[in-house]
């Protein structure tokens, strides 16, 4: 548990810094392509990782899997060491609390970024923890075995991979406002359809489309959040994004599991889909600048 807590702390630092570096490695006009490419790499691992992990588990055991996973980071460290560092900017004075307040004040004064962070928070609490209940759907709802569960787990990843590849190649030609509006409505609609899917095959299609919509929304939101703030605040805004995107997901897993125990897994996922759909509708109605973003 102590090692897991340390890993969470390191991930918080890593995710924030990694996202803030994208604009420095790629120009602002190529931000969407760069972020999409990063997501493509992530989704490739999400699709291939379980298969490779299953083979390694049979060959080297659980401890061996962790060891191999750790060793795979060594080439990445070499690659990071080869990146030319940016010349240091002016020293930032003041206590950490003041820096946090400056980031929060900037977000409060910006309608589109604050709306995106709220939408991400809702999605993290109600939709992102879907994987928590997939074993229950496979076993209890569709009376399927481990292989079927593996397909259910991979289906959103395949959809997300397709969305990331498409946006890497073509995303720079589209208006961000239209793309994020499409994603914000598509993923809760398909999530709701999955919650009521009458058959296993229908559920797989819904999960595929859910992953496609989720990635469309996340990549576009990430791009808009990275390009909107001034350079000196980007790291702090990415910290807020990491907090609402990754920090709230464990609490979402708790609420999703509790609601599923009380009302059943279909109802729990359906409630999450409605919450996300409502947030998309409110954003579309109350924040027209979001859907009109260039």
- DSSP string spanning the chain? -HHHHHHHHHHHHHHHHHHHHHHHHS-GGGHHHHHHHHHHHHHHHHHHHHHHHHHHHHHHHHHHHHHHHHHTHHHHHHHHHTSPPPPP-PPPPS-HHHHHHHHHHHHHT-HHHHHHHHHHHHHHHHTGGGGGTHHHIIIIIS---HHHHHHHHHHHHHHHHHHHHHHHHHGGGS-HHHHHHHHHHHHHHHHHHHHT-SSHHHHHHHHHHHHHHHHHHHHHHHHHHHHSS-HHHHHHHHHHHHIIIIISHHHHHHHHHHHHHHH-HHHHHHHHHHHHHHHHHHHHHH-HHHHT--
Is 84 a member of any domain? no
Predicted pLDDT at 44:
75
Q: Which range among 48-52, 57-61, 210-214, 235-239 has the greatest average pLDDT?
A: 210-214
Q: Say if residue 211's pLDDT is above 70.
A: yes
**What domain range is 16 assigned to?**
2-58+110-291
Predicted confidence (pLDDT) per residue in 89-134, tens digit: 555 667 888 888 888 899 888 999 999 999 999 999 998 888 889 8
Q: Say if residue 236's pLDDT is above 90.
A: no
Is 222 a member of any domain? yes
Is 9 a member of any domain? yes
Q: Residues 249, 124: contact at Cβ < 8 Å? A: yes
Is 82 a member of any domain? no
Is 88 a member of any domain? no
Is 20 a member of any domain? yes
Predicted pLDDT at 93:
67
Predicted pLDDT at 34:
78
Mean pLDDT of 160-181: 84
**What percent of the chain has a predicted confidence (pLDDT) above 70?**
95
Q: Go through the chain and tell me how many residues it has.
A: 294
Predicted confidence (pLDDT) per residue in 19-36, tens digit: 777 777 777 777 777 777
Q: How confident is the model at residue 183 (pLDDT cuts 50, 70, 90)?
A: very high
Mean pLDDT of 1-29: 81
Residue 152: C-alpha distances to residues 59, 156, 188, 210, 254 (Å): 25, 8, 17, 12, 21
Q: Residues 215, 285: contact at Cβ < 8 Å? A: no
Number of domains in the chain: 1
Predicted pLDDT at 113:
92
Predicted pLDDT at 119:
94
Predicted pLDDT at 217:
92
CATH of the domain at 140: 1.20.1250.20
Average pLDDT score over the chain: 86
**What percent of the chain has a predicted confidence (pLDDT) above 90?**
35
How many angstroms separate the CA atoms of 80 and 204, rounded? 38
How many angstroms separate the CA atoms of 272 and 188, rounded? 8
Mean pLDDT of 43-55: 73
Q: Residues 177, 284: contact at Cβ < 8 Å? A: no
Is 249 a member of any domain? yes
Q: How confident is the model at residue 259 (pLDDT cuts 50, 70, 90)?
A: very high
Is 96 a member of any domain? no
Q: Is pLDDT larger for residue 53 or for residue 204?
A: 204
């Amino acid at each position: 548990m102590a090692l897991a807590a340390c890993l969470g702390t390191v991930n918080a630092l890593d995710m924030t810094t990694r996202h803030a570096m994208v604009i420095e490695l790629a120009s602002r006009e190529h931000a969407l392509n760069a972020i999409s490419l990063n997501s493509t790499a992530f989704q490739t691992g999400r699709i291939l990782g379980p298969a490779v992990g299953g083979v390694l588990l049979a060959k080297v055991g659980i401890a061996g899997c962790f060891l191999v996973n750790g060793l795979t980071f060594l080439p990445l460290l070499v690659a990071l060491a080869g990146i030319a560092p940016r010349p240091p900017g002016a020293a930032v004075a003041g206590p950490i609390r003041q820096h946090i307040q400056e980031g929060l004040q900037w977000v409060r004064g910006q309608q589109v970024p604050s709306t995106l962070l709220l939408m991400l928070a809702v999605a993290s609490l109600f939709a992102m923890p879907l994987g928590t209940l997939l074993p229950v759907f496979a076993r209890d709802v569709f009376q399927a075995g481990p292989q079927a569960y593996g397909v259910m787990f991979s289906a959103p990843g395949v959809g997300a991979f397709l969305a990331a590849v498409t946006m890497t190649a073509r995303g720079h030609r589209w208006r961000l406002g239209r793309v994020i509006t499409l994603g914000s409505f598509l993923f809760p609609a398909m999530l709701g359809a999955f919650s009521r899917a009458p058959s296993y095959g229908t559920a797989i299609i819904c999960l595929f489309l859910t992953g496609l919509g989720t990635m469309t929304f996340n990549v576009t939101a990430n791009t808009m959040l990275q390009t909107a703030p001034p350079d000196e605040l980007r790291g702090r805004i990415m910290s807020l994004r990491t907090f609402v995107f990754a920090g709230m997901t464990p609490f979402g897993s708790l609420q999703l599991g509790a609601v599923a125990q009380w009302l059943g897994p279909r109802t729990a996922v359906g409630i999450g889909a409605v919450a996300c759909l409502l947030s998309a509708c409110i954003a579309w109605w109350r924040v027209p600048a979001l859907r009109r973003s260039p």
